[in-house]
Amino acid sequence: MGKNVKEVAKKLSIPKSTLRYYDKVDLLKPSREENGYRVYQESDLLMIKYILVMKYGEFSLEEMQTVLNTMQIDPTSVCIEKTEQLIAAKKKLFQDKIDYYEQMVALFDKIPDIINFTNEEESEIDCCIEEIYQTIVANGDTQ
């Protein structure tokens, strides 16, 4: 048996308005009862979880739609190719962010006491900053 908007929102800890929004922008189209109320099946809940994970992963609405379209029964070859390219780009983006965060953690570890730097420690931190800056420039993120 299906669940209504209130039940799904509670189960997934999201606002009811989020479910309505996903319907409005065609990310998810739950079935409807005769009175027009949305009815969510278990497969819909799984799709909502996919959407929430992609949202957390900073996918745009268009990118989410691309991935969800690929999950259809018979996706087109163009859709599959577009999704593969999207996933590869997202993977690179996340790896770049991981690299950046690792560099930042290493930098923080090198700052023993922010008040009493020795010249050598300050020089080492300056080198770290330069390295991080070069990574940012190489990734085209300076804006």
User: Is residue 67 a part of any domain in this protein?
Assistant: no
For residue range 66-94, list pLDDT tens digits in order: 888 888 767 788 888 888 999 999 999 89
Q: Is the pTM of this model over 0.75?
A: no
Measured CA to CA in angstroms, residue 106 lies from 31, 58, 124 at distances of 51, 25, 11
In a domain, 61, yes or no: no
CB 39 within 8 A of CB 2: yes
Give the structural domain span for 27.
Answer: 1-56
**Residues of the chain scoring pLDDT < 70:** 73, 112-115, 117, 140-143
Query: In terms of domains, do 46 and 89 share one?
Result: no
For residue 113, what pLDDT is reported? 58
pLDDT for position 141: 63
Same domain, yes or no: 87 and 135: yes
Task: Read off the CATH number of the domain in which 3 is found.
Answer: 1.10.1660.10
Residue 65 belongs to some domain of the structure: no
132: in domain:
yes
The pLDDT, as a whole number, for residue 115 is: 62
In a domain, 63, yes or no: no
Same domain, 143 and 80: yes
Residue 63 has which token pair?
């990118």
The total domain count for the chain is: 2
User: Do 93 and 47 share a structural domain?
Assistant: no
pLDDT value for 62: 92
Rounded-to-integer distance, Cα 5 and Cα 45, Å: 11
